[in-house]
Structure 1
Amino acid sequence: MKITIIGGSTGTGAQLASLAHDAGHTVTVVSRSGRAPAGVRAITGNATDPAVASEAVVGADAVVVTVGGAKGIAHQRAAVTRTVVDAMQEAGVRRLLVQSSLGAGDSGSQLPGVLGLITRVVLAKPLADHNAQEAAVTGSGLDWTLVRPTGLTDKAPAGTWQAHQVGDGGKLRGSIARGDLAACMLGILTDDSTIGKAFGVSN
């Protein structure tokens, strides 16, 4: 599979790029820094630029968005995602996987006790960005999946995780190792039963 990762120079995106490459996939990473794991094609640029997004997605079998916020820029995640969606629609690329955050949409209900309320208050601004991002995804008409991780850590991967949809009764813990989230996302890319669904994910 040819996989393009938008925002894959560090964090979860970089770990996903490495896992996908090691699994035999052809991987392209787009970032402003131009950094990428060994063996992975790198495109340097801002994915809010339609030309950069177009170059990145043409020929891909799947596109993953793992971008974070940008200092001083409101709704950076949403802006990147909208540009990528437009490029995918233009190029005829269908499969889209986007990393959002638990607390976006109605997913705060998946957190135990008062943690959901605290999350919505403390992370109000980034969650507003994620809500706009998710709206761009769910309205895209593409074959999308959303993952909403709890707090991300750099701990060693446990090799296991929980993934729940809102309404299935599952509660999630407070964190997940980036390596486990990356492994979860790689599995989702090859599982068509996840299309059109949003999953809260934690260890």
Structure 2
Amino acid sequence: MRILVIGGSQGTGAQLASLAEAAGHEVTILSRSRIDRAGARTITGDALDPAVATEAVSGADAVVITVGGSKGSNRHRAAVTRSVIDAMANADVRRLLVQSSVGAGDSAVQLSAPMRLVTKTLLAKPLADHGEQERTVRESGLDWTIVRPTGLTDKPATGSWRAFTVEEAGTLRGTITRADLAAFMLQVLEDDVNIGRAIGVSN
């Protein structure tokens, strides 16, 4: 599979790119930061630029968006997602995987009551961005999956996680390692059963 990772210079995106390469996929990374990475095609540029987004998306089988927030913009994730979706529509690329966050949309119910309060209080602005991002994804008409991790850590991978939609019973834990999240996202990307689902995930 030819996979484009938007925001793959660090964090979960970088770990996902490494896992995808190791699994034999052809990886392209688009990042505003210049990176030199063996085994992956890299594009330095801003996904908000239609020309850059079009160049990156061209030829991809699947696109993954893992971007974070940006200073000076309360809706950076949503804006990047709209730009990438437009490029995908023009290039006839359909598979989209987006990293959101637990607490966005209707997913607060997947947290314990204390965690719901903390999340709502401390993460109001990024969750509003993710909420708009998710609405854009759902309205895109693409073959999308949304992954909603809990708090991210840089601890070593555990190789296990709990993951379910809001329609399924269960409560997520407070954190997940970036390594485990990346592994879960690659698993999701490789299985079409996840199309049209928003999945919460934690360790």
Question: Which aligned runs of 4 or more in structure 1 are off by greater than 2 angstroms?
Answer: none
Residue pairs, 1:4-15, within 5 angstroms:
4-15=4-15
Deviates most, 117-126 or 31-40: 31-40
1:165 and 2:169 correspond: no
Whether 2:96 is the aligned partner of 1:96: answer yes
Shift of 1:38: 2.8
Q: Which one is further off, 105-114 or 89-98?
A: 105-114
Deviation (angstroms), 1:36? 5.4
Displacement, 1:167? 2.3
- Percent identity reads 65
- Aligned with 2:198: secondary structure? strand
Judging changes above 3 Å, is the alpha-carbon distance between structure 1 residues 35 and 153 closer, same or farther for their aligned structure 2 residues?
same
When normalised by structure 1's length, the TM-score is: 0.98
Figure out how many residues of one structure are paired with residues of the other and give that number: 203
Distance 1:147 1:37 in 2: 26
Compute the RMSD of aligned alpha carbons: 0.8
- Please give the per-residue CA displacement for 1:147-189, whole angstroms capped at 9, x wherever unaligned: 0000000000000011110021111000000000000000111
Measured in 2, the distance between the counterparts of 1:167 and 1:36 equals 42
Q: Which residue in 2 is equivalent to 1:150? A: 150
Relative to structure 1, the CA distance from residue 106 to residue 44 in structure 2 (aligned partners, 3 Å threshold; closer, same or farther) is: same
Q: Which runs of 5+ in 2 are unaligned?
A: none
CA positional deviation for 1:74: 1.7
TM-score normalised by length of structure 2: 0.98
* SS of structure 2 residue aligned to 1:38: coil
Residue 120 of structure 1 and its aligned partner are, at CA, apart by 1.2
The aligned amino acid for 1:176 is: I
Q: What whole-Å deviation, never above 9, does each CA across 1:54-93 have from its counterpart, x for those lacking one?
A: 0111110000000000112220000000000000000000
Matches within 5 A, 1:1-203: 1-35=1-35, 37-203=37-203
